[in-house]
Amino acid sequence: MLGLLILLLIVMTKQVYINIKELVQVRPLPMIPLTGTEFQHVPSMLNAFLVIENNTVVDFGNMESFDPAFYPTHDLIDMLGRFVLPAFCDSHTHAVFARPRETEFVDKIKGLSYQEIAAKGGGILNSARHVQALSEEELFEISLPRVQALVAGGTGALEIKSGYGLTLSDELKMLRVIKRIKAHLDIPIKTTFLAAHALPDEYRSNKQGFMQAVVNQWIPKVISEGLADYIDLFCETGYFDAGDIELITSAVQGTRLKLKVHVNQFTSIGGIEEAVKNNALSVDHLEVLDVKDIVALKSGKTIATLLPACSFYLNIPFSPARDLIKEGIPIALASDFNPGSSPTSNLFFVWSLACIKMKLTPEEAFNALTINGAFAMGLETTHGAIFKGYKGKLIATNQAPSFAFFPYAFASPHVHNILN
């Protein structure tokens, strides 16, 4: 009986947040991926109030029109001039992994490249060995606090990939862990089956045999258990190619799995053209682009997801974001949180990197981290902006002089607390 009473009190919780310095990214539904002049603009409301009932935004407005008499049963919370932002939408992570790879960090300092580290048994294969050594329960217990910390840092919608299993049983283990994490958190989490991330040792000289196993055994099993929303592969020289994109696309045709692709991190080998042709929801990385890649992206509706923290960590070129924007191609930003090439889930830092290294304005980068990030996960009707009916997380910031302060002060803590 006591438990029921507590539940009723929680359900009936109502809050009014007043004296918000700026309520940011206030947009009506429906939304479209932002490009061009719209991408440069973040609509906001100065000196605002915000009403939340049962974890749903029901009203907002200027303080000049606020009358507390309309909200006699609500908790009144003074924001003391803080900003309120919609939580970030991180559309590319590898947040389930067994352990960090700090020894490879030292290798990098000593001059080894990403490819050289992989060639000596590091990289993806290193992470796979550690995942394979853990039970599902152990992997879950390690990964859940990591994802909880990510949410506390301001992420309100998330994609998590498998890809560190490299055997059918271990890929299924990762996907089941992601499913369990979903059940423990109150944010949307999209699951991507990263079917072809690297060749396992036993298939090192038999890529065709590996791809046949993926197509004929792995994909049907993942589909039958309903463990994924998307399918992905690493299209890169020395890993997988455009023909492999065609293979997995054909294998999931008519199923619920939509295509995402890691592509053009180091080389351009036709992956973007193949991905766009097959209606990929997003193509991710894009540190290297040529003219045919731009032409392909302009011909479709695929989101270009850029990962500046990976470029920063690996000391490789940053994606040419300004060229993509100039061509009217919608871009999203994501963390690429993983133990080997982007060991951070801090999207405030990604925001800063996009401004400093890619020359995005604070507004452009924020749009890429919110609305366009939501589109890159199929969450554009529920996340990415503040609107009446919004049920997602909100970031109440520490006090700041302006919106541009957040990417400017790149090493400062910006989250005061998470609302909703």
Cβ proximity of 263 and 272 under 8 Å: yes
Residue 400 CA to chain centroid, in angstroms?
A: 25
First to last CA, the chain: 26
Report pLDDT for 215.
Answer: 98
Residue 8 has pLDDT above 80, yes or no: no
Mean pLDDT of 311-329: 96
Write down the residue that tokens 């310095």 correspond to: 21
The architecture in CATH of the region 89-375 reads Alpha-Beta Barrel (3.20)
Look up residue 170 and give its two tokens. Answer: 């271990």
What are the tens digits of pLDDT across the range 211-263?
999 999 999 999 999 999 999 999 999 999 999 999 999 999 999 999 999 99
Residue 47 burial (CB < 10 Å; 0-12/13-18/19+)?
Answer: middle
pLDDT band (50, 70, 90) for residue 3: low
Q: What is the mean pLDDT of the chain?
A: 95
Q: pLDDT: is 256 or 2 the higher one?
A: 256
Q: What is the share, in percent, of the chain residues with pLDDT greater than 70?
A: 97
Q: Is the pTM of this model over 0.85?
A: yes
What are the tens digits of pLDDT across the range 259-310?
999 999 999 999 999 999 999 999 999 999 999 999 999 999 999 999 999 9
Report pLDDT for 334.
Answer: 98
Q: Output phi, psi for 85, to 5 deg.
A: -120, 150
Domain assignments of the chain as residue spans, ordered by start:
2-87+384-419, 89-375
pLDDT band (50, 70, 90) for residue 396: very high
d(CA 92, CA 190): 10
Mean pLDDT of 408-419: 97
Residue 317 has pLDDT above 70, yes or no: yes
Q: Other C-beta atoms within 10 Å of 239: how many?
A: 20
Write down the residue that tokens 């906001």 correspond to: 44
Residue 4 has pLDDT above 90, yes or no: no
Report pLDDT for 37.
Answer: 87
Contacting residues for 5 by C-beta, under 8 A, at least 6 apart = none
CATH class of 2-87+384-419: mainly beta
Look up residue 208 and give its two tokens. Answer: 């065709």
